[in-house]
């Protein structure tokens, strides 16, 4: 039995309903792709009320026609739902697709309570439903308790910075990296920080090589394994750093909560 088949056995499909140790959540070293390859991925945009301009600073994942999944810190730092919207079904940043405004946000209650960056998970309800098409589809999330193996190929996708503090990409990017043992990851982050790498997180990158990662603007976006969303881009130390892997919230640690609250 192949590892891919084992992974697919451990996932569930959500049914559609009507209803710097900074946050460098980051696509570096990637390639152009199209939204049809990642139709559950959407852009999360924010309004600057002083200038009346919108910017894409996070991403999210379609769970149902009314609900999307993202990172909790994407809302904590931008806490006015009337200043938030998603853009679904577009390959290009800040243009095309369909725009939907946010009704409400539910951050995981444990986010940042005991450990910095822990439980970095949030669900958002839309005011108007997305309409499924080849460009817009619900995602598949890992079942509660699933453990992804070490050194397993995974993929980030998004419109984030092409290098640390660099410009965002106008065209959707994707990049393949590999999961990294959590204990190794914790040691890499060092004394005083290692405790922030918890069982609720997935580390991934190209250890001791770097050059591939998510980057600023990819926060809340997906970490895929075999087209299944296993992680939500959360934090890291720079983008594509050879010593420090990027860190995502483990979806499998919160699947039951996600399903219970995305309704």
Set 90, 219, 234, 250: catalytic member: 219
Burial class (CB in 10 A: 0-12, 13-18, 19+), 98: middle
End-to-end CA separation in angstroms for the chain:
36
DSSP state of 8: H
In the three-class reduction of DSSP (H, G, I as helix; E, B as strand; rest coil), residue 223 is classed as: strand
Q: Across the strands, what pairs with 53? A: 48
Is residue 227 annotated as a catalytic residue, yes or no?
no
Set 57, 120, 218, 241: catalytic member: 120
In the three-class reduction of DSSP (H, G, I as helix; E, B as strand; rest coil), residue 261 is classed as: helix
Tell me the chain's radius of gyration from C-alpha atoms.
17
CB of 140 within 8 A of CB of 12?
Answer: yes
Is residue 100 annotated as a catalytic residue, yes or no?
no
Q: Which residues contact 106 (CB under 8 A, 6 or more apart)?
A: 122, 123, 124, 261
Set 40, 57, 73, 255: catalytic member: 73
Is residue 120 annotated as a catalytic residue, yes or no?
yes
DSSP state of 81: G
Q: Which residues contact 114 (CB under 8 A, 6 or more apart)?
A: none
Active site residues: 73, 120, 219
């Amino acid at each position: 039995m192949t590892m891919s088949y084992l992974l697919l056995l451990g996932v569930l499909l959500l049914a559609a309903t009507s209803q710097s140790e900074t946050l460098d959540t980051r696509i570096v070293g990637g390639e152009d792709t199209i939204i049809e390859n990642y139709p559950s991925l959407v852009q999360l945009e924010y309004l600057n009320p002083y200038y009346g301009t919108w910017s894409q600073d996070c991403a999210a994942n379609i769970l149902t026609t009314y609900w999307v999944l993202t990172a909790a810190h994407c809302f904590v730092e931008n806490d006015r739902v009337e200043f938030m919207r998603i853009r679904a079904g577009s390959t290009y940043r800040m243009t095309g697709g369909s725009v939907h405004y946010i009704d409400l946000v539910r951050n995981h209650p444990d986010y940042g309570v005991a450990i910095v960056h822990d439980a970095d998970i949030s669900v958002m309800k839309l005011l108007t439903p997305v309409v499924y098409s080849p460009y817009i589809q619900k995602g598949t999330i890992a079942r509660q308790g699933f453990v992804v193996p070490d050194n397993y190929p995974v993929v980030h996708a998004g419109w984030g910075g092409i290098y640390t503090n660099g410009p965002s990409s106008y065209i959707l990017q994707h990049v393949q990296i590999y999961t990294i043992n959590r204990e190794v990851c914790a040691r890499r982050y060092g004394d005083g920080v290692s405790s922030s790498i918890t069982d609720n997180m997935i580390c991934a990158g190209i250890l001791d090589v770097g050059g591939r990662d998510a980057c600023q603007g990819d926060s809340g976006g997906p970490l895929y394994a075999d087209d299944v969303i296993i992680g939500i881009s959360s934090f890291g130390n720079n983008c594509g750093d050879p010593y420090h892997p990027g860190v995502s919230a483990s979806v499998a640690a919160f699947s039951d909560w996600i399903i219970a609250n995305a309704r």
